[in-house]
Amino acid sequence: MKKWIALLLLAVLCFLNYFQYDTLEQDPYLITDYGRLRPVKVTGVAKGREEDQLRGILQEARDKHLTISIAGQRHSQGGHTYYKDSIVVDMTSYNRVLDFDQQKKKIRIQAGATWKDVQDYVNPYGLAVKTMQSQNIFTIGGSLSVNAHGRDIRNGSLIKSVESFRLLTADDRILNVSRNENADLFGLVIGGYGLFGIILDVTLTLTDNEMYKLAVDNLDVASYSRYFAEYVKTNPDIHLHIARISVAPEHFLTEMYAINYVLDRSVPLKGHDQLKTQEEGVILSKLLFNLNRTFGWGKNVLWNLQKPYFTKQQGTWITRNNAMRSESEFMEYRQAGSNDVLQEYFLPVQEFAGFVDDLRAVLQVENLNLLNITVRYVNHDEEATLSYATDDMFALVCLFNVPLSKEGQDKVRTGIQAVLDRVIQHNGTYYLPYIAYPRLDQFRAAYPRYADFFRKKEQYDPNHLFVNYFYMDYKGE
């Protein structure tokens, strides 16, 4: 008992230290993103509201020889939403539902709306989103720009549920873009990081909201690929799936548990479909996660508490919409001098165990502070020009705590590049919305269609109106 009291007191001290460095008021024209690594002055931030107003912003930029960057919730971490001296177009106010067809299961919605807005709108009609991130806080346009994926193992990357969108281009045209109309732009803009124009609105195909029963399995890394292929993928009633790998020193990258969302037709949706509105247990979870961030034994404590917590959910029910409103507030972090940053690696299913063995070896040498690692499945899909799903892939979403100093960042960069060398050796790719640690040669190895992407950028935007740091970091000479 005394041990747990001491742990709780230590956690409280860490928690108070966390709040000591909460966000400070900042110059409204000094812009950064969730990574907090590259703050720069921009010319201004313009809220997107109407089409004519957006056209006026583009004309102003052309007249003044400025560039345009496009921002939503700014959760990308590598400067994808801004550039020095640019005009940042903030699309979060551009968020209305324009059309909805319950029978055809379609919604047309402006690009600045969030997935929460979609869920709130369609839930009363018994409908749900096909593919989105595990959290619903991101904008639709931002998710298209990164070609998001999530827990759904049947519908692939987000591009598969996009029917069409309208695009405001560098030459002031508004184009309808689909697989049949201006089709060349479809795979360039989705996963194109805002470099081909401003996405105005999107027509998405929806699916039914459903009742799922949770099935939780404990397993190890070595058996996961076989488990997924033989048990999960072959069961048509498993619609969503997520797994988590231990980062605890006692079981470092060896133990796992998986959560399967199994369709349950015996439980009526009506009466169970109220949307979750708040996250529970945030303070305690934040305390425990801060121990996980700070101490090796804290990682052991968190893992040993997580496993029974999730196992207790065995056999409980949840709707599809609520399963896609994952809790994450407890992981928010704003400490001065350090930050939690994401890196994500995509590995062919058959390469999973071998890569995790290599990842373990690299992390032990490089001494990177890995806080969390979850696994999702993404179907093979190369419709996007910069596609990460070059095979049926497991996505390993890795959260690191990193120093923000130059010296600290240099060490992190070296470690991440060592990880990426192993990713490429295992025929994998990595996700582009995050900090630009990868070398240019690693980017080109993971995305062999890069040359076509940047050639098309020159074709559609020869004067480089739309610019961000991702473009400048990886366009090459």
Nearest alpha carbon to residue 167 among 133, 137, 190: 190
pLDDT in tens, 107-140: 999 999 999 999 999 999 999 999 998 888 899 9
Q: In whole angstroms, what is the distance from residue 269 CA to residue 105 CA?
A: 17
The pTM of the full predicted model, rounded to 2 decimals, is 0.91
pLDDT in tens, 324-373: 876 566 556 667 788 899 999 999 999 999 999 999 999 999 999 999 99
279 band by pLDDT with thresholds 50, 70 and 90: low
Q: In whole angstroms, what is the distance from residue 258 CA to residue 377 CA?
A: 12
Helices (H), 346-468: 352-366, 406-425, 440-446, 450-460
Q: List, in order of start, the domains of the chain with CATH numbers.
A: 97-208 (3.30.465.10), 211-436 (3.30.70.2520)
- Per the structure block, which two tokens stand in for 99? 């059309």
How much is the CA Rg of the chain, to the nearest whole Å?
A: 22
DSSP H or E run through 473: helix 469-474
Residue 360 burial (CB count, 10 A): 16
pLDDT for residue 286: 76
Q: What is the mean pLDDT of residues 449-470?
A: 97
- Per the structure block, which two tokens stand in for 355? 């890569």
Whole-angstrom CA distances from 350 to 73, 206, 208, 233, 300 are: 35, 31, 32, 14, 29
User: In a 3-state reduction of DSSP, which class is residue 68?
Assistant: strand
Mean pLDDT for all residues in the chain: 90
